[in-house]
């Protein structure tokens, strides 16, 4: 290998080792560095190592050194993300139910690697599984890729759209005819990913759950000009929040109309057990925290949903019903 080529290759390998395997707490000594390079067939001694590292520093790479006994130890000290930033990102991926388990694990592994070898081990050791409602459909990330492509290219999007029935089977809307819409933006809200579109038919905004979209495709037709107006309205439109926190946990049985089954799956997960009572009446037993947020959620379905057990919570429910009549 020509000398100039060898020098470039050596510098690249030195930088890789520093970025991936060192930090201020884990420097690598000159002796160990040269030995590692020799094992890869790269000629290196103390002088050439020092010269290469000096060149890398001159190029702006954050490399420093400190004495380890009688030797000099080198380390990389300026990473793109701090430990706490990577931890937050990893937890966000883990907590997001719309990302399937396999893809969550892959994403978390990639994020941990951004911290380098030693910080990666710490971050992976701190991973805690706390979301048991991971989505099962592994095509979601592909959906996001195609949707982003449509938005960036200003092209209309085509797809099938479905709901889940009480047996977790897909039931396609519009007799499985394809939807064609003007995509404006992807919005993450209430642990769900949504596509906000402008509808030519309704001349207004419409929303679709990304995990309910199937066989997404990009068309050659440009989006309507109204999409840009809709994008300006999005900050106001996405301010809605929801939570069920602040009360005692109870296992309650809800009886509801089949037309709002999707609301049960949205709130409690697609693994929620659902029983059929009549052709149009279903019921499900779920764990909730009895709080104003829960009552607010329940009463928005008044006439289509009721609480039938346990008796202590049912009495509270009936009392509030009578007070609001």
As beta bridge partners, residue 256 has 282, 305
| One domain for residues 175 and 229 | yes
Indicate the residue among 65, 91, 125 that finishes a domain.
125
Q: Which helix (H) or strand (E) holds 118?
A: helix 116-125
Encode pLDDT of 12-65 as tens digits: 999 999 988 888 888 999 999 999 999 988 888 999 999 999 999 998 888 999
189: in domain: yes
Encode pLDDT of 208-260 as tens digits: 999 899 999 999 999 999 999 988 877 755 543 334 445 677 899 999 999 99
pTM higher than the cut 0.85: no
| One domain for residues 285 and 264 | yes
Through-space distance between the first and last CA atoms of the chain, rounded to whole angstroms: 88
Q: How confident is the model at residue 6 (pLDDT cuts 50, 70, 90)?
A: low
| One domain for residues 146 and 181 | yes
| One domain for residues 169 and 258 | no
253: in domain: yes
98: in domain: yes
Structural domains of the chain, count: 4
CA 206 to chain centre: 23
Segments forming the whole domain that contains residue 88:
83-125
What integer pLDDT is reported at residue 108 of this predicted model? Answer: 84
| One domain for residues 114 and 67 | no
Q: How confident is the model at residue 133 (pLDDT cuts 50, 70, 90)?
A: low
Among 125-134, 138-147, 310-319, the least confident range: 125-134
Encode pLDDT of 78-124 as tens digits: 777 777 788 788 878 887 877 888 888 888 888 877 776 666 665 65
Structure tokens given for 225: 């000009």
Q: Give yes or no for residue 129 having a pLDDT over 80.
A: no
| One domain for residues 233 and 145 | yes
Asked if 182 and 169 touch (Cβ cutoff 8 Å), the reply is: no
Indicate the residue among 210, 237, 264 that finishes a domain.
237
Contacts of 62 (CB under 8 A, 6+ apart): 76, 77, 78
Q: Where are the beta strands (DSSP E) in the chain?
A: 28-29, 63-68, 71-76, 155-164, 170-172, 179-189, 192-199, 204-209, 213-222, 248-257, 275-276, 281-290, 305-309
192: in domain: yes
CA-derived radius of gyration, the chain: 28
261: in domain: yes
131: in domain: no
Which DSSP state fits 302?
A: B
């Amino acid at each position: 290998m020509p000398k100039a080529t060898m020098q470039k290759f050596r510098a690249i390998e030195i930088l890789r080792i520093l970025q991936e395997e060192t930090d201020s707490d884990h420097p690598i000594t000159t002796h160990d560095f040269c030995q590692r390079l020799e094992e890869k067939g790269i000629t290196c001694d103390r002088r050439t190592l020092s010269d290469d590292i000096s060149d890398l520093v001159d190029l702006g790479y954050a490399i420093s050194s400190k004495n380890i006994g009688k030797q000099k130890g080198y380390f990389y000290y300026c990473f793109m993300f701090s430990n706490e930033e990577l931890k937050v990102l990893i937890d966000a991926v883990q907590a997001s139910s719309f990302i399937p388990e396999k893809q969550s694990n892959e994403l978390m592994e990639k994020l941990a690697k951004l911290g380098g070898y030693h910080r990666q081990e710490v971050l992976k050791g701190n991973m805690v599984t706390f979301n048991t409602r991971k989505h099962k459909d592994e095509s979601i990330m592909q959906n996001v890729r195609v949707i982003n492509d449509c938005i960036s290219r200003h092209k209309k999007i085509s797809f099938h759209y479905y709901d889940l029935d009480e047996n977790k089977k897909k039931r396609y809307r519009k007799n499985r005819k394809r939807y064609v819409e003007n995509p404006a933006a992807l919005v993450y809200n209430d642990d769900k990913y949504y596509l906000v579109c402008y509808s030519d038919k309704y001349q207004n905004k419409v929303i679709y759950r990304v995990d309910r979209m199937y066989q997404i495709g990009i068309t050659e037709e440009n989006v309507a000009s109204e999409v840009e107006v809709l994008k300006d309205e999005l900050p106001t439109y996405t301010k809605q929040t929801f939570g069920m926190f602040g009360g005692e946990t109870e296992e309650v049985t809800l009886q509801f109309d089949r037309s709002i089954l999707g609301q049960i799956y949205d709130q409690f997960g697609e693994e929620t057990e659902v029983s059929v009572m009549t052709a149009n009446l279903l019921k499900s037993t779920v764990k909730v925290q009895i709080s104003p947020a829960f009552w607010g959620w329940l009463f928005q379905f008044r006439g289509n949903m009721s609480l039938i057990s346990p008796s202590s919570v049912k009495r509270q429910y009936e009392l509030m019903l009578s007070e609001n009549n």
